[in-house]
Structure formats: structure tokens, C-alpha cells
Amino acid sequence: MDQESKYYIGLDMGTSSVGWAVTDANYELVRKKGKDMWGVRLFEEATTAQDRRTNRISRRRNQRKKQRIAFVKEKFRDEVEKVDSNFFRRLNESQLYLEDKTVKAPYLLFNDFNYTDQDFYRQYPTVFHLITDILTSDRKFDIRAIYIAVSSLFAHRGNFLNKSLGNESQEDDQVFEKMIEVSKRCEMNWNFDSQNLEEVKSILCARNLNKTKKQDELIRCLKINKKTEKDKIEF
């Protein structure tokens, strides 16, 4: 290519525009059809997939939540309907106006003669009051109240790790004893003993460590062979 026919193309690319220019070998703008060959093209700024990903995750989370509630409902259905045959129907129609419901009941959960929703919410302002009462009381509860508590825990993937609901040291000891039992049953060569058990507890319960840090600390504490057993402590 001779010097006269040699040219350069310069691009300035941004998120919503592209600038361009054509120059000769001396970096002078090239003219074509009486116009300098330079300009800019504008377009809408690109968007990330974050919104779509967030919506997709939300849909999946809601779908799993509905599946868990449906599972609990199926397990409780027979016993609940022995006490209140319209209980689940009232729940399913909770979003409808009274005139559109098949069961013309003014209350949703409890529509008994001597016990209604007003009495229930006066006794239990939140579902957590109900859960705590069920866990700490020895009396017999209405099967509908038990369903409300269990379905709430399943819906929000709740657990019984709230230490105010029981004996902290006893629950912790049971958890770690089970961990030792499982590791032995699976033939994991983990160095569990009375000396490092407290350190294992502190690592697992540490709030300032992420999952990777906890894994590394457990490998060090339990003297785990990284090549053969690291994958067994992922959590």
C-alpha cells in the first residue's frame, strides 16, 4: 500500500455512543464527497441482565414457597377438616370480597361460635407469639393453630435456632455430637476431640467469617486432607 492510499480509522466507544474519524498517513482528516470523514453515532445505553435475573430468582423463590405450603397443607388437610371442613376453602378465597366467596364467613382463620379471628389475634399478635407458645407450652393446641405455625415456618424456611426458645448449651452439644457421629459414619478422617470442639463451634458461629474463610479454618482445625476431603465440608 502506497503512502497516499494509507489511512487510519479511529474509534471512541462509550456506553451510549461511538465516535469515529478517518485520517491519512499524516493524521489529517480524509474528505469524501466534499465532507470530512468523522462523526458520532448515538444509541440507547445497554442494560444489564440484573433486572431479569432478579425477577427470575423472585419467581423461583415464590414457586418454591408455594410448593412448601402445598406440601404442609396436604399433610394437615385430613386432620384440619375433621375440626373445620371449610378452613382451607376460606384461606383459598381470602382475596375475594365477601359476596364473591362460596363460604359466607366473616372471619378467615377461626369462625367458631366461641372463638374467632379477633380472639386469635388478641391472644397472638404475631405468628411468632404463636410459635413460641407452641414450643414452650405443654397444653394441647387446636390443629388449625399448629398448621398456621408450621406453614409460616415452611413458607419462610424458618428454623428452631433461636436460642431463646431452649437450652443453648444443650442444643449446641447435641448438634456437634450429631456432626461427629455423621463424620465417623461417612468415614471422614476429621480430627474431632474435646480440645478442638470449642474451636469448631466458634468457627461455625463466627459472624465475621464468610463461608470460604470458615471452610479454610475448619480444614486447619480438623487437619483435613485438602486433596481428598475438602469437598466434604462444603456448606
- What percent of the chain lies above the pLDDT cut of 90? 23
Last residue of a domain, one of 90, 125, 155: 155
Residues 143 and 57 reside in one and the same domain: yes
Residues 82 and 135 reside in one and the same domain: yes
CA dihedral 138, 140, 145, 149 (to 10 degrees): 30
DSSP character string of 86-149: THHHHHHTTTS-GGG-SS--S-SS-B-SS-BHHHHHHH-SSHHHHHHHHHH--S---HHHHHHH
In the structure grid, which three cell numbers stand for residue 156, read together?
A: 419462610
What is the phi-psi region of residue 165: left when phi exceeds 0, alpha when psi lies from -120 to 50, beta otherwise?
alpha
Single out the residue of 24, 18, 17 nearest to residue 9, CA to CA.
24
Residues 177 and 143 reside in one and the same domain: no
Q: What is the pLDDT of residues 195-235, one digit of tens each?
A: 677 777 788 778 788 888 888 888 888 777 765 554 444 44
Q: What is the pLDDT of residues 82-129, one digit of tens each?
A: 999 999 998 888 888 888 888 888 888 998 889 999 999 999 999 989
Residue range 164-169: mean pLDDT, rounded: 44
For residue 56, CA distances in Å to 49, 66, 157 come to: 10, 15, 19
Residue range 16-35: mean pLDDT, rounded: 89
pLDDT reported for residue 172: 56
Q: What is the pLDDT of residues 174-199, one digit of tens each?
A: 666 666 666 666 566 666 665 677 77
- What percent of the chain lies above the pLDDT cut of 70? 77
Residues 149 and 57 reside in one and the same domain: yes
Is the pLDDT at 2 greater than 80? The verdict is no
pLDDT reported for residue 141: 92
Residues 94 and 135 reside in one and the same domain: yes
Which region among 55-64, 90-99, 140-149, 168-177 has the lowest average model confidence (pLDDT)?
A: 168-177
Last residue of a domain, one of 133, 155, 177: 155
Q: How far is CA 160 from the centre of its chain?
A: 17
Residues 151 and 176 reside in one and the same domain: no
Strands 35-36 and 7-13, sheet pairing: unpaired
Q: What is the number of structural domains in the chain?
A: 3
Residues 151 and 195 reside in one and the same domain: no
Residues 200 and 223 reside in one and the same domain: yes
Mean pLDDT of the chain: 80
Is residue 212 one of the residues assigned to a domain? yes
Last residue of a domain, one of 155, 186, 211: 155
Is residue 47 one of the residues assigned to a domain? no
Which domain, by its residues, includes 171?
Answer: 167-233
